[in-house]
Amino acid sequence: AQTVTQSQPEMSVQEAETVTLSCTYDTSESDYYLFWYKQPPSRQMILVIRQEAYKQQNATENRFSVNFQKAAKSFSLKISDSQLGDAAMYFCALLNNNDMRFGAGTRLTVKP
Protein backbone atom coordinates (compact mmCIF):
# COMPACT_ATOMS: atom_id res chain seq x y z
CA ALA A 1 0.00 0.00 0.00
CA GLN A 2 1.14 3.51 -0.64
CA THR A 3 1.71 5.98 2.17
CA VAL A 4 1.94 9.74 2.56
CA THR A 5 3.73 11.38 5.47
CA GLN A 6 3.51 14.95 6.68
CA SER A 7 5.79 15.47 9.64
CA GLN A 8 4.75 19.02 10.52
CA PRO A 9 1.46 19.05 12.46
CA GLU A 10 1.55 22.85 12.70
CA MET A 11 3.36 25.65 10.93
CA SER A 12 3.24 29.38 11.39
CA VAL A 13 4.24 32.18 9.02
CA GLN A 14 4.20 35.94 9.11
CA GLU A 15 2.00 37.64 6.58
CA ALA A 16 3.88 38.35 3.32
CA GLU A 17 6.61 35.86 4.23
CA THR A 18 7.34 32.45 2.70
CA VAL A 19 6.65 29.07 4.24
CA THR A 20 7.40 25.52 3.11
CA LEU A 21 5.30 22.51 4.02
CA SER A 22 6.93 19.10 3.81
CA CYS A 23 5.58 15.84 2.43
CA THR A 24 7.16 12.48 1.69
CA TYR A 25 5.51 9.48 0.14
CA ASP A 26 6.03 5.89 -0.79
CA THR A 27 4.56 3.97 -3.70
CA SER A 28 5.54 1.09 -5.91
CA GLU A 29 3.68 2.58 -8.87
CA SER A 30 5.54 4.35 -11.64
CA ASP A 31 2.55 6.39 -12.79
CA TYR A 32 1.00 8.62 -10.17
CA TYR A 33 0.01 12.16 -9.30
CA LEU A 34 0.72 14.25 -6.25
CA PHE A 35 -1.49 16.98 -4.86
CA TRP A 36 -1.69 19.60 -2.20
CA TYR A 37 -5.17 20.35 -0.92
CA LYS A 38 -6.31 23.12 1.37
CA GLN A 39 -9.15 22.47 3.81
CA PRO A 40 -10.66 25.56 5.48
CA PRO A 41 -13.09 25.28 8.42
CA SER A 42 -15.92 24.59 5.95
CA ARG A 43 -14.11 21.28 5.26
CA GLN A 44 -14.44 21.69 1.52
CA MET A 45 -11.33 20.26 -0.13
CA ILE A 46 -9.71 22.88 -2.35
CA LEU A 47 -7.03 21.85 -4.83
CA VAL A 48 -3.95 24.02 -4.45
CA ILE A 49 -1.54 22.41 -6.88
CA ARG A 50 -0.95 19.18 -8.80
CA GLN A 51 2.18 17.44 -10.03
CA GLU A 52 2.47 14.62 -12.54
CA ALA A 53 5.13 12.13 -11.49
CA TYR A 54 6.52 11.82 -15.02
CA LYS A 55 7.22 15.54 -15.26
CA GLN A 56 10.52 16.77 -13.94
CA GLN A 57 9.51 20.40 -13.96
CA ASN A 58 8.06 21.57 -10.69
CA ALA A 59 4.46 22.77 -10.81
CA THR A 60 3.66 26.39 -10.05
CA GLU A 61 0.35 28.14 -9.44
CA ASN A 62 0.76 31.82 -8.72
CA ARG A 63 2.12 32.06 -5.14
CA PHE A 64 2.21 28.29 -4.73
CA SER A 65 5.00 26.09 -5.99
CA VAL A 66 6.31 22.62 -5.28
CA ASN A 67 9.71 21.05 -4.96
CA PHE A 68 9.28 17.58 -6.39
CA GLN A 69 12.19 15.23 -5.77
CA LYS A 70 11.13 11.93 -7.30
CA ALA A 71 14.14 9.90 -6.27
CA ALA A 72 13.77 11.04 -2.68
CA LYS A 73 9.97 10.71 -2.87
CA SER A 74 9.59 14.20 -1.54
CA PHE A 75 6.94 16.75 -2.48
CA SER A 76 7.07 20.00 -0.55
CA LEU A 77 4.80 23.03 -0.98
CA LYS A 78 6.12 26.57 -0.91
CA ILE A 79 3.74 29.42 -0.27
CA SER A 80 5.17 32.82 -1.13
CA ASP A 81 3.83 36.19 0.03
CA SER A 82 1.59 34.45 2.56
CA GLN A 83 -1.84 35.94 3.05
CA LEU A 84 -4.28 35.71 5.93
CA GLY A 85 -6.60 33.69 3.70
CA ASP A 86 -3.96 30.99 3.37
CA ALA A 87 -4.59 29.89 6.95
CA ALA A 88 -6.06 26.38 6.83
CA MET A 89 -5.24 22.70 7.02
CA TYR A 90 -3.06 21.52 4.17
CA PHE A 91 -3.03 17.93 3.04
CA CYS A 92 -0.59 16.22 0.73
CA ALA A 93 -2.13 13.44 -1.37
CA LEU A 94 -1.00 10.68 -3.71
CA LEU A 95 -3.25 9.33 -6.45
CA ASN A 96 -2.70 6.38 -8.73
CA ASN A 97 -5.08 4.20 -10.68
CA ASN A 98 -7.20 2.96 -7.82
CA ASP A 99 -5.94 4.54 -4.68
CA MET A 100 -5.81 8.03 -3.25
CA ARG A 101 -4.30 8.63 0.17
CA PHE A 102 -3.61 11.62 2.30
CA GLY A 103 -1.01 12.70 4.77
CA ALA A 104 -1.90 13.62 8.34
CA GLY A 105 -2.09 17.29 7.47
CA THR A 106 -0.37 20.51 8.49
CA ARG A 107 -2.25 23.33 10.16
CA LEU A 108 -0.95 26.62 8.81
CA THR A 109 -1.37 29.79 10.83
CA VAL A 110 -0.70 33.16 9.24
CA LYS A 111 0.20 35.99 11.63
CA PRO A 112 -0.71 39.54 10.66
* Contact footprint for other proteins (CB under 8 A): 31-33, 35, 43-45, 50, 52, 91, 95-105
Nearer to other proteins, 32 or 86 (CB): 32
CB count, 10 Å around CB of 92? Answer: 27
Instruction: Please tell me the chain's helix, strand, coil percentages from 3-state DSSP, rounded to the nearest 5.
Output: 5, 55, 45
State in angstroms the smallest separation of the CB of 104 from other proteins: 5
Structural contact between residues 43 and 37, judged by C-beta atoms closer than 8 angstroms = no
- CB of 86: closest distance to other proteins in angstroms? 19
**Min separation Cβ 87 and other proteins, Å:** 15
